[in-house]
Amino acid sequence: MRLPPAILGNAEEVLREILRFTSPADVTLSRYFKDHPRLGGRERGAIAECVYAVLRQKSFFTDFAGTGASMRRLTVLGMAEAIGADSLGGLSEDETALLTRIKEIDRSLLPPKKLANLPDWLYDKFVAQYGEEETLALAAVLNTAAPLDLRVNSLKADRDKVIAELATAPIAAEPTPYSALGLRIWKKPALQNLPLFKEGAIEVQDEGSQVLAQLLGARRGEMVVDFCAGAGGKTLAIGAIMRSTGRLYAFDVSEKRLTKLKPRLARSGLSNVHPVVIAHERDAKVKRLAGKIDRVLVDAPCSGMGTLRRNPDVKWRQQPEGIAELTEKQASILDGAARLVKFGGRLVYATCSLLDEENEGIVQGFLASHPDFELVPMHKVLAEQRIPLEMGDYLKMLPHKHGTDGFFAAVLERKAAPVKAVADESDEDAVAE
Ligand SMILES: C[S@@+](CC[C@H](N)C(=O)[O-])C[C@H]1O[C@@H](n2cnc3c(N)ncnc32)[C@H](O)[C@@H]1O
């Protein structure tokens, strides 16, 4: 069924704003839809898909649409990609010809940089790290839409029962290969009104993020800190692994993000989570717990390059200078969070970035200046957690290899207490500070 031609005008209007890159695309889209309450569900879906298609292929579309490519032509290309050229009405002869021409192009003949649809600086960084062939395979997947992954809340349900109940909705869900609690849905159904969702039996969470939460190896009754908890995706998974026992602090500098954790927490049935707003990584609230925590997760703020399937605007909004600033912040947060870890405790550093400088670079810098910590090789941690993934020293989940968002993680352990510190507890605090 054809959509009203007027939606091309709406899509063009919101795209113009989004391509200024002053705020995240999803935020601008939500605001636009709020300001245009008459747009129906199908129209909203088409406009959003059009915007995301243009963001994914901006480089190719801009070149193809010709010098001075107008916003209207970009919108037509994006909308045709989103809903199919046949569903588009109200096109001029010139626009119809544009869509005929694009169909005839053999994109495999494009120069690699154009094929990758990445800004030059990012393409060059990826090639230096992964080589050209793998960069193209990675970029091809980063430029597609992600499926919807769910995590089953083991406190409330099991995976097979959830699959069966979703099937009655009817929603087809398949088990994910690496997380024993993960489900993958290829369509994008609305979940909010499902009893399974309202009762907290399922949460939306990428499989890679579920694996990260598991690497912490949290156990019943322990003291655990999720240092950069945000809206609590990993907090909820860790809380369930701890079977709602012990104490799990959810720290973040953003009160707004932690507020979003509250309704999720209420659905989850967890009673061991304590959200705490901190001013910065050296806040007195952090210092008070120094040397007392069994496990600390640092899911650091990062460039988010591993999430381009969901947030394709990030590659155009981020700049190399921004990455350099992030790495300073990441090193400082990891250093601050490390003070919490007790002797023999575990510290996990994680990002959803694909760039070495935000990943191994930070961990190696940390190890060089913290001789009291050592790296636990990832293959050992994966075996201990029975996660069927083959890795070396680090976890590197890659969209084109593992079907997840891109994630990095390193597991560090604080060495056992020196003999003197065991004898005198006040010394332990002195070392931890
Ligand atoms: C990658 S996000 C966390 C995502 C979250 N762990 C999840 O699984 O949904 C990084 C978070 O770090 C927080 N952050 C930034 N600077 C921080 C700091 N100095 N200390 C603690 N958290 C910080 C941000 O507010 C953001 O919520």
For the stretch 12-28, pLDDT in tens is 999 999 999 999 999 99
Q: Which residues are catalytic?
A: 352
pLDDT digits (tens, 9 = 90+) for 268-307: 999 999 999 999 999 999 999 999 999 999 999 999 999 9
Q: Does any ligand 1 atom lie closer than 6 A to the CB of residue 251?
A: yes
- Close Cβ partners of 73 (under 8 Å, ≥ 6 residues apart): 65, 66, 95, 98
CB within 8 Å of 365: residues ≥ 6 apart:
331
Q: Determine whether the shortest distance from the Cβ of 301 to ligand 1 is under 6 A.
A: yes
Question: Cβ–Cβ contacts within 10 Å for residue 158, how many?
Answer: 12
Query: Is CATH 3.40.50.460 the right assignment for the domain spanning 148-204?
Result: no
Residues 375 and 384: their CA atoms lie apart, in Å, by 15
What is the CATH class of 207-432? alpha beta
| pLDDT band of 1, cuts 50, 70, 90 | low
| Centre of ligand 1 from the C-alpha of residue 160, in Å | 32
> Would the pLDDT of 52 be above 90?
yes
For residues 346-358, average pLDDT: 98
| Residue 190 CB contacts under 8 Å (≥ 6 apart), including other chains | none
Is 286 buried (19+), middle (13-18) or exposed (0-12) by CB count in 10 A?
buried
Sort residue 212 into left (φ over 0), alpha (ψ -120 to 50) or beta. Answer: alpha
Q: Which atom of ligand 1 is nearest to the CA of 209?
A: 8
pTM flag (> 0.90): yes
Cβ–ligand 1 distance for 349 under 6 Å, the answer: no
Provide the pairing of β-strand 247-252 with 223-226. parallel
Spell out the residues 6+ positions from residue 177 whose beta carbon is closer than 8 angstroms to its own.
Answer: 207, 388, 403
pLDDT band of residue 197 (cuts 50, 70, 90) is: very high
The tally of CA atoms less than 13 A away on the side-chain side of residue 373 is: 29
Model confidence at 371: pLDDT above 60: yes
Is 275 touching ligand 1 by the criterion CB < 6 Å? no
Return d(Cα 61, Cα 125) in angstroms, integer: 23
For the four alpha carbons of 395, 401, 404 and 406, in that order, the dihedral sign comes to positive
* Rounded distance from Cα 82 to ligand 1 centre (Å): 33
Distance of alpha carbon 85 from alpha carbon 32, whole angstroms: 24
Alpha carbon distance 240, 275 (integer Å)? 16
The residues of the chain that CATH labels 3.40.50.150 are: 207-432
- CATH 3.30.70.1170 range(s) for the chain read 148-204
Q: What is the pLDDT of residues 154-170, one digit of tens each?
A: 999 999 999 999 999 99
Alpha-carbon separation of residue 195 from 57, 198, 202 (angstroms)? 38, 5, 10
How many angstroms does the Cα of residue 186 sit away from the middle of ligand 1?
Answer: 28
Write the pLDDT tens digit of every residue in 223-280: 999 999 999 999 999 999 999 999 999 999 999 999 999 999 999 999 999 999 999 9
End-to-end CA distance of the chain: 65
For residue range 322-344, list pLDDT tens digits in order.
Answer: 999 999 999 999 999 999 999 99
Alpha helices in 143-294 (DSSP H): 159-167, 195-198, 207-215, 233-241, 255-268, 284-287
Give 40 Cα–ligand 1 centroid separation in angstroms: 34
Q: Is 332 in the pocket of ligand 1 (CB under 6 A)?
A: no
Verify whether ligand 1 is closer than 6 Å to residue 253 (CB atom): yes
**Number of the ligand 1 atom closest to the C-alpha atom of 230:** 27
